[in-house]
Structure 1
Amino acid sequence: MLEGKLRQKQANTAVSPVTAPPTSPIAQPASPARAARAEIPGAAPSPTPTAPANNGIFGLADSPVPGLSIGAYGEIKFGAMQNPAANGQWQNGFDAHRLVLLPTYAITPNIIFNAEIEFEHAGSGFDSDDKLHGTAEIEQVWIDFKILDQFNWRAPGIDLVPIGYINQRHEPTQFYSVNRPELYNGLIPSTFKAGASSVYGTIAEGLSYQVQVSSSIEDFGGDFGLRTDAKTVPPFPAGYAPGISGLDALASSRPVRGDFQQLNNTLAYAGKLDFAPAFLPGFAGSVSAYYSPNVTPRGAYADTGDLLGRTSVGIFDAEFRYRVPQTGLELRGEYVHVNFSRPENLRANNDTDPTNNVGKSMYGYSGEIAYHVPLGTILNSEWEAVPFYRYSYENLQTGGFAGTDANAPTGAGQRQFHTAGLAIFPSPKLVLKATYQRVIDKSVAGALSDSFLGGVGFFF
C-alpha cells in the first residue's frame, strides 16, 4: 500500500493532480508490490494500483511516524459442517480463524520494509484453561529495493511463492466464499510461503513478472519435535507422516521457515507472468510455475526400512478474472497441475497406508460465476451484494502409483466441490459471507464433508 501511495505522491508532484481510478482484484496485473492491498472488488481496472488515502494506522488516522503504515485483515467463521471422522455427523462451530497485522515502513522512497504478522485460530496457547490451539507466526517479512519499474529486487526474507492468484492475494475481500477456493487448500498449499528472494518488474503496460528462488517444499508432514538434531526424519522404525499425499495433496509439505530445520538442501524456483491487456478492459490473468529438483528429506525411508531416492516436483497454474464492462457479471477460472518425477520415492506410497497413495500427477480446475448487485446507501456507505457459484474438481490420485503400498486409487482424492453463496460488501474493506458447499468423491463412504458456513472478513 505504501509503495502505491509514494508513487502516487511522486506522480502528483511531477504533473498536475488527476483522479486515479479505483483498483480491482479481477482486472489489474498482479504485482508483487504491497500496492495490491488496495484492491477493491468490482471496481474499474487500473494498471497502476494506488493505496487508500487514509492508510496510516489501520486506515483510521495518519501515521505519527513518517513512512510508517499499519494495516490489518482477518476472518471470523461460524456455522456447521459434516465431520468425516464421525461418519458425516453435522457439528456446529466457531473459529476466530485469523487476525493479521501489516506493518510497512519506507526506509527511503526506494527501500521499503514489509511484514505480515498472523495470529490463527484465536491465539497460540494450548492448555486446559484457555482451550486454545492456535499459532502466531511471521507470514511475510522482506525489504524491497525499488530500482526501475522494469527491475526491482526483493531481499531475502519470508515471501509468498508467486503461484496462482489467491496465494498472493488471500485477504477475505478478494474471494466470495467463506473458505478460500478449493484449489488453494492443497494443490497450491496456501498460504504458500518460504524463505525466498526475487526480482520483479513491469515488462510493458499491463504485463508484469516475478522470478523467485526459495526454500523447497519437503515430503515430511510431522512437526519440529520429530526432526532429529542431524536434521533428518526420525530413525527407522519410528515412522513419519508424508508431507505429500493423495488425500491432502501438498498441504503438509510447506517449506520450513525457522531455525535451520530444513530436511534437505534444495532450492526451488518459481516464476509468474501477470497480464491485463488494454484491448480487453476488465480482463486479467496469470500463468505461473514452481519447480523443486528434490523434495525427499534426509534419511527418508519406506516402512520396510529401505531408503527413498530423489523426487522432483513441478506445479503449473493458469487463471483468469473477467468483469464484463458495464455489467455486474464476473467470471473466474483456474487450472492447476502438479507433476512428480519419481512417485515411487514418495513417503505416501511407502507407508503401508494404501488410502493416501500418490500417482504421477495431480490436477484440479475451477470455474466461477458471480454477479454484483448494488444495494444503495445504507449506514452512510454504498453496499453491494455478490451472489456466486463455483464448481471445482480435483484428482489427487491419478495413475502411476509405485512403491511398497498397494497400487490402487481409493477415490477419496477425486473430489467435486459445488460451492454457492452470497457475499455482501457494506464497504470494500468489509464483507459478510454465507456459503453452502456440497462435496462429492469416489471413496466408498463418500466425502461426508459438506458445510454451511457464515463469515465476517475485513481488510484495511
Structure 2
Amino acid sequence: MKKQFLVTIILTIQFVAICAQTKTDTLQTGADSLTMDKPKFQQQPGLALAASKIFFSDKRWSISGFGEYNYVPIQQNVNRTGGDLELYYSGLYRQALFFGYRLSDKLIWNSEFQVEFLHFKNQESHQEFVIEAFVDYLFSDYLKARLGFYPLTIGYVNNNDEPVMFYSVNRSEVERLITPSTWIEFGTMLYGNLSADWSYALGFSQGLNSRNYLSGSWIRQGREIRFDLPQSVSINPQLNYHGVKNLTLSASGYYGNSGQGNTVDMGDRASEIKGKIKLTTAYAKYNWNNFRLITVGSYGKLGDTDKLYELTKDENGEHGQVLGARTYGYLFEVGCDILPYLRKVTSPKVHKKSFFYDSQALKLSVFSRYERLNTHDQVHQDLINIARTEANMKILTMGANFNTKEHMVLKANYQYRINKSVFDPYPVKNIVETGIGFIF
C-alpha cells in the first residue's frame, strides 16, 4: 500500500507539472489570433528528450519528466527460479521527474528522481529508486564535460529510454539482458563534436558490483548507486557518425572490472575476483519519410565466472549463479507512421488541442522487430552441467503505437518467443503487452 501511495503521489506531481507547462498553439478566430510558444524538445548527447530540456530552455531552470505504465497479461508456466522479477513481471510502473538549473552560461546542473515498481500478480513485487545528479561544463563545441551520476553512453535505448522514443511496450530484451538499460553510474565523461559529421564521448566510472549478478539477466543486477570509492575504474567510449541526412551510426563499449575487492575460497586459498567485463555495442538508425529503421548489436564477455558462482551462493552455500562467460544479442526493427496514408493530410482551420489530444500531431505507427540473444553463449567448463536460468531466445515482436499528441503514446504489441535453452523448462512463446507513456 505504501508503494502504491508513493507511485500515486509522484504521478500527481507529474500531471500538475504537465498542466503548468501545457501551452496552446495558434488558434484562428476571425481577425484575432493568440500565439504562444510550444515546448522545445531536443537531445543533448547522452540524454533522452525530457532529460535534455534544461540545455535548450530559455529559462534559467526547467522541470520535465516522463511516465510509463505497462501491463502484461498473466503468463502461465513462468519460470520464477531465476529470482529476477525483471524476467516475468505482469505490471511495470515507472515515473521520473527532472529538475535542471543553469548555474551560468557554461555550467548546468541536471537531476532526476525515478521510481520503478514491478509486480507479478499480487504475489511478488519489487521497487527501485533511480537517482541522476550531474553537472555539465560546456567549454566548447568540441569539448564538454559531465560529472556525477549519469546514464552511460552505450547502446541505443540507454540514451533514448523515454517511452515516446521507442516503439515496443517494453524495452527490447537485447537492451535489457545484454546491455542493462537503464544504466547509470557515478563518474565523469568528456564529449563533443570532432567535426560536422563525427561526435564522441569518453567516460570513466566506478563499475558494477558482481555480488548481485543473477544468471538469467547477466550483469543487469550489478547496477547500483554507490557512494564508496571504487576498487577499479571502468571505461566507456562512444563514437558517432552523422554524415548522411537522417542516418546515425554509433559504436560504444564498456570495459572494466566488477569484483569490487571481493574474494572467494578456491580450494585451499583465497582468490580475488576481477569479474572483468568487455561489452561492445553498435547501432544504426535511419529515418526515411514516415519510416524508421533501427538495428542494434551487442557482444559481451565476463571473466571469473567460476569464482562468481562461489561468490553468489546463498547463506547455505548453495544456488550460486551460473553466468555467461560470453553473450551476444542483436535486433532489426522497422516501423512506419501509416496515418498519412489513411487520410488526406490537411491543415485544419481550427487546431483542436486538449490535455490528451492534438489534431496536428496524431500518429499511428506499426512496427515489427526481430531479436536474437543468448546470455550463455559460452559457459565456464566447470559450470556447463549446472542448472541455470538463461535466455537463449528468438523473439518476433509486432505492434502499434498511437500518438494522441506529440509526446503521449498508447502502445500494444504481440511477441512470439522461442526459448532454445535446454535448461529452461518453461519457455514462454506468446506475450501480449499494452502500455501508455508520455513525457513533458
| TM-score, normalization by structure 1 | 0.72
Distance 1:72 1:312, change over 3 A: same
Aligned to 1:419: 397
Whole-Å separation in 2 of the counterparts to 1:443 and 1:357: 14
Distance 2:47 2:399 in 1: 31
Mapping for residues 59-78 of structure 1, pairs under 5 Å = 66-78=59-71
Instruction: State the Cα deviation string for residues 361-408 of structure 1 (Å, max 9, x = none).
Output: 1111100111112355775423111111111111111235134x3447
Deviates more, 1:282-291 or 1:309-318: 309-318
Q: 1:451 to 1:306 in 2, by over 3 A?
A: farther
Note closer, same or farther for the CA distance 1:270–1:459 as it changes in structure 2 (3 Å cut): same
State the 1:453 CA deviation.
1.4
AA matched with 1:340: L
Aligned to 1:121: 117
* Residue of structure 2 aligned with 1:163, choices 154, 158, 171: 154
Contact 2:312-2:320 within 8 A present in 1 as well: no
| Paired AA for residue 335 in structure 1 | G
Q: 1:357 aligns with which of 322, 333, 344?
A: 322
- Counting matched residue pairs gives 373
Which digits, 9 at most, give the CA deviation of each residue in 1:389-432, with x for residues without a partner? 111111111235134x3447868431111111001112221111
The question of whether the paired residues in 2 share the 8 Å contact of 1:308 and 1:346 is answered with no
- Post-superposition CA distance 1:308-328 (Å, at most 9, x none): 44231111001011112xx32
Asked whether the equivalents of residues 178 and 329 of structure 2 are also in contact (C-alpha less than 8 Å), the reply is: yes
Q: Contact 2:67/2:94 (CA < 8 Å) preserved in 1?
A: yes
- Give unmatched runs, 5+ long, in structure 2: 1-37, 82-87
**Match for residue 174 of structure 2 among 180, 183, 188:** 183
Q: CA deviation at 1:353?
A: 7.5
2:235 match: 269
Task: Measure how far apart 1:434 and its partner are.
Answer: 0.3
SS in 2 for 1:396: strand
1:157-190 Cα deviation digits (max 9, x unpaired): 1011111121012000110110012112121111
Match of 1:428 among 363, 384, 406: 406
Match of 1:286 in 2: 250
Q: Residue 160 of structure 2 contacts residue 166 of structure 2 at CA under 8 Å; is this kept in 1?
A: no
State the distance in 2 between where 1:397 and 1:154 align. 35
Give the CA deviation at 1:115.
0.7
Q: Indicate conservation of the 8 Å contact 1:111/1:144, yes or no.
A: yes
Q: Is the 8 A contact 2:327 2:378 kept in 1?
A: no
Match of 2:73 among 80, 88, 94: 80
Q: Which residue of 2 aligns with 1:199?
A: 190
Q: Distance in 1 between matches of 2:115 and 2:187?
A: 22
> Which residue in the other structure is 1:298 paired with?
261
Deviations 1:308-361 (A, max 9, x none): 44231111001011112xx32221101100013443333279858799533431
Cα pair distance change 1:274/1:348, threshold 3 Å: farther
Offset, 1:37: 5.1
CA contact (8 A) 2:136 2:145 kept: yes
Q: CA, structure 1 residues 78+284, in 2 after alignment: closer, same or farther (shift >3 Å)?
A: same
- 2:33 equivalent in structure 1: none
| 1:57-456 equivalence runs, <5 A | 66-83=59-76, 84-85=78-79, 93-95=90-92, 97-121=93-117, 133-138=126-131, 140-155=132-147, 157-221=148-212, 243=213, 245=215, 247-254=216-223, 256-260=224-228, 265-277=231-243, 280-292=244-256, 294-301=257-264, 307-309=270-272, 310-324=274-288, 327-347=289-309, 351=313, 357-374=322-339, 379-381=357-359, 382-403=361-382, 405-407=383-385, 412-444=390-422, 445-448=425-428, 450-456=430-436
One-letter code aligned to 2:437: G
Structure 1 SS opposite 2:169:
coil
Given that residues 231 and 261 in structure 2 are in contact (C-alpha distance below 8 angstroms), is that contact kept between their aligned partners in structure 1?
Answer: no
User: C-alpha separation between the residues in 2 aligned to 1:373 and 1:249?
Assistant: 38
Q: For the aligned residues, what is the CA RMSD?
A: 3.5
Q: Mind listing any 5+ residue stretches in structure 1 that lack a counterpart?
A: 1-19, 40-48, 57-65, 222-242
Task: Measure the CA separation in 1 of the matches of 2:192 and 2:293.
Answer: 27
Cα distance in structure 1, aligned partners of 2:73 and 2:363: 26
Cα–Cα, structure 1 residues 425 and 304, in superposed 2: closer, same or farther, change >3 Å?
A: farther
Specify which structure has the higher proportion of helix.
2
Paired position in structure 1 for 2:84: none
Distance 1:426 1:458 in 2: 10
TM-fit CA distance, 1:94: 4.4
Q: Conserved in 2, the CA contact under 8 Å of 1:436 and 1:451?
A: yes
Letter in 2 for 1:111: L
TM-score normalised according to structure 2 size: 0.75
Q: How far apart are the structure 1 equivalents of 2:49 and 2:411? A: 25
Structure 2 counterpart SS, 1:82: coil
The structural deviation recorded for 1:449 is: 6.1
User: What CA distance in whole angstroms lies between the structure 2 residues aligned with 1:442 and 1:349?
Assistant: 28
